[in-house]
């Protein structure tokens, strides 16, 4: 098992097995491979395997049954995945209703150059920046980093964001949503993200960037949402009539410093 710099072998093994458990790899019998099989598969010692299994047990993913092996706990077996059926606004409404929000920062400042360009801000024009953490029953699931042109963000305050989602505040002051450009990538968590999302520094994060426009094609919001793949996923339902358009998604590969389709 190739070792990632700065990460212990037993922790790497823990992460791989945890991912397999959450994906339902062991959903049939619930039984994990024997220690000898894991040693051979990952090329590690029995001590490393036992430490990884002990961590999985300590976090409630598995249970050790004497003489029988290590089994995935029933409450960790994946459920059938629902079909996506919500519009963007309905999805935002559902997220706001089912999570608890912690407002970490609200400020009016100049946006970073890339954000300013996407929001079509004039040189020196300010934007409202809002950083929020959403949790489910105390477990963080979503870190939202949003930017709104200052002319549209007058009602966006820490107090208002504790009571209403950002999209509700914008809609209430007459902003209408039109085209949405969305990019899905991944990144490694930095120390701040790791602390807020209760994960490891360097852990993989799912990253969604959205630029929302009004019906006149003027950008009204730039937002980055980061989530941990073991707690969250993104569902999409692409209508047949749009499957051959960009609505169906488009892969871009950056090789040699240049984007390639």
pTM of the prediction?
0.72
Where would I find the beta strands (DSSP E) of the chain?
62-65, 69-72, 100-110, 126-136, 139-149, 180-188, 204-213, 219-227, 253-255, 258-260
Q: For each of the chain's 261 residues, which pLDDT tens digit applies?
A: 555 444 588 888 998 898 888 778 888 788 999 999 999 999 999 999 999 999 999 989 999 898 899 999 877 665 555 554 556 667 777 777 888 999 999 999 999 999 999 999 999 999 999 999 999 999 999 999 999 999 999 999 999 999 999 999 999 989 999 999 999 999 999 999 999 999 888 888 999 999 999 999 999 999 999 999 878 887 777 777 766 666 667 677 777 666 665
Q: How far is CA 153 from CA 60, 109, 242, in A?
A: 43, 11, 33
CB-CB contact of 203 with 190 (8 Å): no
Distance CA 52, CA 41 (A): 14
């Amino acid at each position: 098992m190739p070792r990632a710099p700065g990460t212990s072998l037993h922790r790497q093994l823990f992460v791989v097995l945890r991912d397999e458990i959450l994906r339902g790899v062991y959903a049939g019998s619930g039984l994990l491979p024997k220690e000898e099989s894991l040693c051979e598969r990952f090329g590690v010692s029995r001590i490393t395997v036992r430490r990884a299994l002990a961590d999985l047990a300590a976090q409630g993913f598995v249970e050790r049954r004497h003489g029988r092996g290590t089994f995935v706990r029933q409450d960790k077996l994946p459920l059938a995945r629902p079909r996506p059926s919500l519009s963007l606004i309905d999805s935002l409404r559902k997220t706001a209703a089912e999570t608890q929000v912690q407002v970490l920062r609200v400020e009016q400042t100049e946006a970073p150059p890339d954000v300013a360009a996407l929001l079509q801000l004039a040189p020196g024009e300010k934007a409202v920046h809002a950083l929020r953490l959403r949790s489910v029953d105390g477990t963080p699931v979503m870190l939202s980093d949003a930017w709104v042109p200052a002319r549209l963000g007058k009602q966006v305050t820490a107090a208002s964001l504790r009571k209403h989602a950002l999209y509700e505040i914008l809609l209430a002051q007459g902003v209408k949503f039109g085209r949405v450009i969305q990019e899905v990538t991944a990144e490694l968590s930095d120390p701040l993200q790791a602390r807020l999302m209760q994960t490891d520094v360097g852990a993989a994060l799912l990253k969604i960037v959205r630029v929302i426009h009004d019906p006149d094609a003027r950008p009204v919001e730039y937002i980055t949402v980061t989530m941990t793949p073991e707690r969250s996923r993104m569902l999409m339902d692409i209508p047949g009539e749009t499957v051959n358009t960009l609505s169906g998604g488009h892969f871009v590969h950056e090789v040699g410093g240049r984007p390639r389709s």
